[in-house]
Structure 1
């Protein structure tokens, strides 16, 4: 269980740091004067590239954690990357956190600690070969939601549909990773339906999240996505995959889960640090403006 917890923690740290680095890279690239040689643009974009690499590390770490830990714990840890982003935004981007956000950070930490103490480690229960078809069918549902949200003329309503689609997609990635069995030789993963379901959910979720951000407020989109991708997989894990808590620790686990999710939603507006900043360093208006950017942490 210790290795699984380390994987979940590493995923949160990697995703949170990746978001800040990507914001720094975009900011530097936007500040370049017209006609800057491509080498200068590459140098300015290095933080963004490092952020993408950290996204990959975070994904692998979360998959490794899901081999032994319940979905409700790992998905909560991944969602808590917004707390890492919030802290790093203060250090790197000069953002100022309000008292409510500091409280939310403490709540997230306390909630994750409670989940770690109450969760019971163990592999997922394999529900049978039909699970792969259900995963693929759920990916088709996400695809339908993406289409519906995209063609909806009401941009606000469309952003809600797309946000839910993104959350279901990212949640589907977690469920597929929890069910995925690494074969020998490894190349047989390419013929595993769970692998294709994981890839399909990941692609659809990324597209849905980007489209949602283009249509709605970052705060609303991030909150809906985080809530959906945390709650739905947690229910699937408990009901179908044998995820469980220690004896007599059910109420404490529920309280910790609600606290973690609530803290993450409260910090959702810190999930996307500002990529560009029209105010000079040290300007009070800049430090008090909530960071917003269109890049996704996963």
Structure 2
């Protein structure tokens, strides 16, 4: 559970650092398009530090998925929105409402309940049919990415966000379905390809959703897609269980943590200049 929480802290902090680097890279109205903006951002230590935290978070996520049930890891990863909100309030001077501070507290309470109730990961390795099902799901997510951008504005962000959530959910399940790291076995395991395709497709879908649609809507879809489905797969097919007599607490903690994360969905993309500027302007006037 500590690894899952560590991954959440890494991902949430990385989002803010990368947002700060992107703001600095675009300062002064520098042009050149998205590619030029990315190149300028890559020259800044904050962006590189964010990438490093993303890598560390992914490694911690893998360790967590091999130690505790998927439902606990999924809820902890969704809690990265709470980390982003708190860090953004400090580094980007973004003001959180009382409701949002309450949502942060709710997320923490839900994770505490999950930590108390979750047991060890299930001992089932997953059938071949499940591995191919994950591969099929990852391909479906990739197809959704190819056609999702053509959807109407109202449904596009939600569809792409859900698709990204399913893709990241495939990664969570696939990690559990890869038991042998021998190169020959890895190449013969459908879960390996599900992990690669699902992760890549999820990243593309999420990027498109945040760029072309509502951040709040896309992130809400992401949270739902990456938590509920993988949790069910872990319980039904992989044998994830709770501690004796604490199933009710695990269900309650999962629901509370996810609900709190949904309340913080606007932090799916760290607030940029347009959000922070009013606060900064007010501070300058006061000075």
Distance 1:127 1:189, change over 3 A: closer
Residue in 1 that maps onto 2:34 = none
- C-alpha distance in 2 between matches for 1:265 and 1:47: 27
SS of residue matched to 2:121: coil
Residue in 1 that maps onto 2:265 = 268
Residue 269 (structure 2) pairs with residue 256 (structure 1) = no
Match of 1:21 among 6, 17, 22: 17
Matches for 1:80-229 after TM superposition, within 5 Å? 80-152=79-151, 154-183=152-181, 185=182, 189-229=186-226
Alignment TM-score, normalising by the size of structure 1: 0.86
Partners of 1:124 and 1:179 within 8 A in 2 = no
Task: State the aligned residue count.
Answer: 277
Match of 1:233 among 209, 230, 237: 230
SS of residue matched to 1:241: coil
Deviations 1:12-41 (CA, angstroms, capped at 9, x unpaired): 010011001101111111125759xx9x94
Partners of 1:120 and 1:244 within 8 A in 2 = yes
Deviations 1:168-217 (CA, angstroms, capped at 9, x unpaired): 0011111111222143x467534432221101000110111112223321
Deviations 1:16-69 (CA, angstroms, capped at 9, x unpaired): 11001101111111125759xx9x947852211110111111111101100011
- C-alpha distance in 2 between matches for 1:44 and 1:122: 41
Residue in 2 that maps onto 1:31 = 27
Partners of 2:122 and 2:234 within 8 A in 1 = no
Partners of 2:170 and 2:198 within 8 A in 1 = yes
Residue 70 (structure 2) pairs with residue 74 (structure 1) = no
Unaligned stretches of 5+ residues in structure 1 = 287-298
Residue in 2 that maps onto 1:295 = none
- C-alpha distance in 2 between matches for 1:80 and 1:235: 19
- C-alpha distance in 1 between matches for 2:148 and 2:78: 23
- C-alpha distance in 2 between matches for 1:101 and 1:6: 24
Distance 1:34 1:207, change over 3 A: closer
Partners of 2:157 and 2:213 within 8 A in 1 = yes
Give the superposition deviation at 1:150: 2.2
Distance 1:29 1:132, change over 3 A: same
- C-alpha distance in 2 between matches for 1:69 and 1:225: 22
Alignment TM-score, normalising by the size of structure 2: 0.89
Distance 1:155 1:20, change over 3 A: same
The CA RMSD over aligned residues, in Å, is: 2.4
Distance 1:155 1:34, change over 3 A: closer
Residue in 1 that maps onto 2:241 = 244
Distance 1:163 1:285, change over 3 A: farther
Distance 1:240 1:209, change over 3 A: same
